[in-house]
């Protein structure tokens, strides 16, 4: 929780009026590109260059804290909560892929009454180590549905067109994989996926659609998919 937001949240819990909390939060500097903190400046003079101390940058805020008991209580509690996670969020279509059990790599959280486990690492952390893969793609699904409607309406004989009836062995489509040129498929544009696609030419007998099952983050798994014997084992 950032400085302004935590003041409003604490004030709401304390049942302080919105106008009062909003007035205090607006005294906190909000200059783009700066990290403003409610914490008091160090008494030893060793200030951090990373932060702007709100009480120093805005004398009116320091004055009101010194003179008004409500403001002092509000800011003291807000300082304790500043920087904490405000609430738990979950990506509706996010998937984590790790070399082994997820519990060996990150702490998990399970909401009461739910059977779904969620990583306690936030979105930026799991993306930084390339574990995450988004399977939601609402815009993509919408475009696909619109395209299907166009095909049914504009092409005679395709009134019952359905994607699930398309052949998976269409060489005109799958031939782009060994050349690592899937420009319209976001899951196959990543570096490790392109490397695996080039290796496809050296893996006869492997289904061409297999590489499409390797999402971003599946480091190490792409090599297995390039081995024909992997498919012969039924893995």
Give the model confidence (pLDDT) of 199-217 as tens digits. 544 444 444 444 454 544 4
Per the structure, the complete domain to which residue 105 belongs is given by 94-133
pLDDT of residue 195 exceeding 90: no
| Mean pLDDT of the 91-117 span | 82
Residues 180 and 145 in one domain: no
Residues 215 and 227 in one domain: yes
Residues 102 and 39 in one domain: no
| DSSP H or E run through 77 | helix 69-81
Question: Is residue 129 very low, low, confident or very high in pLDDT (cuts 50, 70, 90)?
Answer: confident
Final residue belonging to a domain, choices 81, 114, 147: 81
Going by C-alpha positions, the residue among 32, 34, 37, 33 that lies closest to residue 4 is: 37
Residue 50 sits in a domain whose CATH number is: 1.10.10.1600
Q: Domain count of the chain? A: 4
Residues 181 and 209 in one domain: yes
Contact yes or no for 159/149 (Cβ under 8 A): no
pLDDT of residue 221 exceeding 60: no
Please check whether residue 18 lies inside any domain of the structure: yes
Residues 104 and 128 in one domain: yes
Q: Please give the torsion angle defined by the CA atoms of residues 114, 118, 122 and 125, in that order, rounded to the nearest 10 degrees.
A: -170
| Mean pLDDT of the 184-203 span | 51
Residues 8 and 60 in one domain: yes
Contact yes or no for 36/28 (Cβ under 8 A): yes
Residues 201 and 232 in one domain: yes
Please check whether residue 145 lies inside any domain of the structure: yes
Please check whether residue 46 lies inside any domain of the structure: yes
Please check whether residue 39 lies inside any domain of the structure: yes
In degrees, rounded to 5, the angle at the alpha carbon of residue 202 between the alpha carbons of residues 201 and 207 is 65
pLDDT at 232: 41
- The mean pLDDT of the chain is 77
Whole-number Cα distances in Å, 96 to 13, 86, 112, 128, 181: 35, 22, 21, 12, 26
pLDDT of residue 80 exceeding 90: yes
Residues 52 and 104 in one domain: no
Please check whether residue 89 lies inside any domain of the structure: no
Please check whether residue 38 lies inside any domain of the structure: yes
Q: How far, in Å, CA of 191 to CA of 231, rounded?
A: 23
Q: How far, in Å, CA of 185 to CA of 194, rounded?
A: 11
Residues 193 and 206 in one domain: yes
| Mean pLDDT of the 2-13 span | 93
Please check whether residue 200 lies inside any domain of the structure: yes
Q: How far, in Å, CA of 194 to CA of 187, rounded?
A: 10
- Tokens in use for 27? 């005294």
Please check whether residue 86 lies inside any domain of the structure: no
Alpha-carbon Rg for the chain in angstroms = 27
Final residue belonging to a domain, choices 118, 147, 166: 166
Residue 205 CB coordination number (10 Å): 8
Q: What are phi and psi of 37, to 5 degrees?
A: -125, 150
Contact yes or no for 3/36 (Cβ under 8 A): yes
Higher pLDDT, 45 or 181: 45
Give the model confidence (pLDDT) of 27-70 as tens digits. 999 888 888 999 988 887 777 778 889 999 999 999 999 999 99
């Amino acid at each position: 929780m950032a400085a302004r937001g935590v003041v409003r949240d604490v004030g709401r819990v304390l049942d302080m009026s919105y106008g009062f909390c909003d007035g205090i939060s607006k005294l906190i500097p909000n200059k783009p590109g700066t990290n403003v903190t409610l914490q008091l400046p160090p008494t030893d003079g060793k200030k951090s260059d990373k932060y702007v101390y709100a009480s120093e940058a805005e004398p009116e805020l320091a004055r009101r804290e010194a003179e008004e008991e409500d403001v002092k209580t509000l800011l003291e509690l807000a300082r304790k909560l500043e920087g904490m996670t405000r609430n738990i969020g979950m990506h509706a279509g996010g998937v984590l892929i790790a070399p082994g059990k997820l519990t060996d790599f990150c702490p998990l959280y399970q909401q009461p009454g739910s059977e779904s486990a969620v990583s306690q690492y936030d979105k930026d952390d799991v993306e930084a180590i390339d574990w995450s893969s988004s399977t939601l793609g609402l815009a993509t699904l919408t475009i696909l549905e619109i395209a299907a409607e166009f095909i049914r309406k504009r092409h005679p004989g395709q009134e019952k067109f359905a994607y699930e009836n398309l052949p998976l062995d269409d060489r005109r489509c799958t031939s782009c994989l060994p050349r690592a040129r899937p420009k319209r498929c976001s899951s196959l544009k990543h570096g490790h996926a392109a490397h695996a696609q080039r290796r496809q030419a050296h893996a006869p007998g492997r289904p061409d659609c297999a590489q499409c099952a390797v999402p971003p983050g599946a480091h190490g798994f792409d090599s297995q998919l390039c081995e024909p014997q992997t498919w012969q084992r039924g893995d």
